[in-house]
Structure 1
């Protein structure tokens, strides 16, 4: 349960976040922008930013408490921790490289294709970057079953644009014009990031090529994925699929291969008070940073709740690994 003190902390943080992003002016409170960014009902956001943690039920007329889940959603979106942090931020080489490439692309409206191993923190880095530039950075997560219309729907949701066009061409044009205008005339150059870009198909790649031709130098376009993206592009090029050679030419100069993972996980484990044998067990079980988090954090939390230290024996019992004598 979230305490009144925590709710007030979130309310204050919401005001500071909206102010730092330029959403609060003499004529605007930042409520609408914050609600759009966090996907929390604008009425709840309005009340919370006024330190009123209740709302009037439209059916009964009664005042009711705003549910805790909306405070948690706000806190998560603006980076407020409500519970003990078991996994603090670490500046891994991969985080620093991806973050630097994103900043350079945003500043110059350039293209980037960032190729990184699975579980290296790509999505984590993108999420942190988006929180820093919520009104300029728009993120689309690609799925292998996405059609062009699905991708346009995701871009529409990410940018908060309501599209009225009926055809793919018209809807894509509406998005392109808005992104182009943002970058060319409103002094706030945007960036659109396609995460898990290895899932892009021939038709969606063709759509992105057409999109880039309109918004280049006005909106940064970034594709982030594993090496499967390059493998797929190479195969499509070999088959001489329409538009792929042109797509590759436009994005080739922006391809960056991110440093491979350190599978010893020293950047995470070096300061942990675990015996060497326990650290070696962790290294044997986990293949990447994502798995390291998935195994360690639940074990840390459970040991904490039981008020016992996290030991190798406890770790092995939790995950049903062979127990050493």
Structure 2
């Protein structure tokens, strides 16, 4: 029987009812298509040696039978589970949530399932248990959205034996990393405010020990120093709008404050609320610049000047990098770990007030 004749039989002469009473398996597909089980396996794994007409015959048999290969069948055939692990921390925040969505989308397009573990704490034992679970599930590779420096160190201690890509961290020069360019973003925000004539720029930083917060703090300070501007003491929030509000109330009482760079948009939202409540005009009295460009930023009053981070690009780039390491591509390009950022100028920043 020729493959083309078999394809016709698969399309017309047989139906799922011929195999009623049990779920069709790979042997059923091979019998109906008139090929070997190995050929069916090659079709499932997109092996280049399979002729197009044979591939179509096998696919037609699968459709006729309603055959869906299980993950275990793919694993036995290819030595892979086609499953990736993702460990995330503080996953409810806009940035990590956007990255995770992009990873899931890109993984699905590449034919992978994603097993995601969201951790509430960054304790070493919790991280180790998450890695052990993903290893037990047979993850082909792992992406860790690890914004805190100590999380990176905990990951390093696990000695994971599958490819690992870490996001928003900088704990280890040997580990593949992808992150937004926080230093450049903070420099652009600070230079923007200085360029508007403000004598200096106050800073509301994120929590100490978070890689992105630390990088933005360092860059804000060095940019002021390079410009010969005074470097005021920073204030520290916890990424929430509530913390921005309470710190904003403190700044609102200071007549010498004319510009504030806030380490994320949620805290900046709280600052805007506090300034409005205190009767301080934005940007007439105080200019405010945030970070991230959350979807609501353009709709705040006034619309928020902020640094845009392409979280979708971070997630997609991380997924591509991980797959290249899983495939062990000798000619795969090295990771471009810094994803560029852009300053989006809106109405919340303006010239320094005349004294």
| Structure-1-length-normalised TM-score | 0.28
Q: More strand per residue: 1 or 2?
A: 2
Could you say which structure has the higher helix fraction?
A: 1
Choose between structure 1 and 2 for higher RCO, CA contacts under 8 A separated by at least 6 residues: 1
